[in-house]
Amino acid sequence: MKDTVLIVEDETDVVDLIRYNLNKAGFSVLIATDGQAGLSMARESRPDAIVLDLMLPGLDGRSICKALKKSPETEPIPILMLTARGESAERIEGLEIGADDYMTKPFSPRELVLRLKALMRRVRTNPDTEDIGVAPFHINKSTFEIRLEDRRLELTTIEFKLLTLMIERRGRILSRDTLLQDVWGYQNAIDTRTVDTHMRRLREKLGTHASRLETIRGEGYRFNTLSDS
């Protein structure tokens, strides 16, 4: 059976573009052009994935996303949020309310299809609780794997532990002593520069997402939930 993708989008040219590419890639497509219809359709037909526009007539994408992620029946359905260029605040909120990924318009339809496939694969291969998704990061604790967008990060064991801990406690400031204790297992702080060295290497591996690992002067480090550039 074909996988079904629900498109919730009010701009018909965008709908046509996505539909064409999804059909070509072998998906069945459902379409809703306003928020209320989108939400009902998602609940009734439980598609394999949803492409959700942020700005919609009626109910906006944010409310739809929240509603779907709150209910256990629809929570696992991956949501790819579409935002207009310049909606950076909204874009970030999109991730915080539980969208699994986002793309900014204008986007490459080919990339959209690839990302949807990746999202659906994740849901299927990782049904366990060992799984943490903080888009665009995705941690699998049972395989010690962290993916960033769709790239597997090559990490040492310490780097894996460090990044996992930072993501699990995202938004909070973690002191070097705390990190030494919880990541390295040191009871007495030895040289806290160890943390800085590893943090630097980790940032290099994160590339354009390096700024998610923030240095808080005089205090420690924080995995930033707000910026993504």
Interacting residue ranges for Ca ion, rule: CB under 5 A: 10, 53, 55
Between CA 161 and CA 73 the distance in angstroms is 32
Contacts of 103 (CB under 8 A, 6+ apart): 80, 81, 82, 83, 111, 112, 115
3-state secondary structure of 52: strand
What minimum distance in Å lies between the beta carbon of 11 and Ca ion? 5
Strands 220-223 and 213-216 come out as antiparallel
Instruction: Name the minimum Å distance from CB 77 to Ca ion.
Output: 20
- Give the integer Cα–Cα distance in Å for 129 and 98: 16
CB of 15 to Ca ion, least distance (A): 10
Measured from the CB atom, the residue of 32 and 179 that comes closer to Ca ion is: 32
Half-sphere exposure of 188 (CA within 13 A, CB side): 1
Residue 82, beta-bridge partner list: 53, 103
Q: Give the shortest CB-101-to-Ca ion separation in angstroms.
A: 18
User: Residues with Cβ < 8 Å from 136, sequence gap 6 or more?
Assistant: 101, 148, 149, 209, 228
Considering beta carbons, is residue 91 or 198 the nearer one to Ca ion?
91
Q: What are 103's strand-pairing partners?
A: 82
Q: Give min distance, CB of 119 to Ca ion, in A.
A: 21
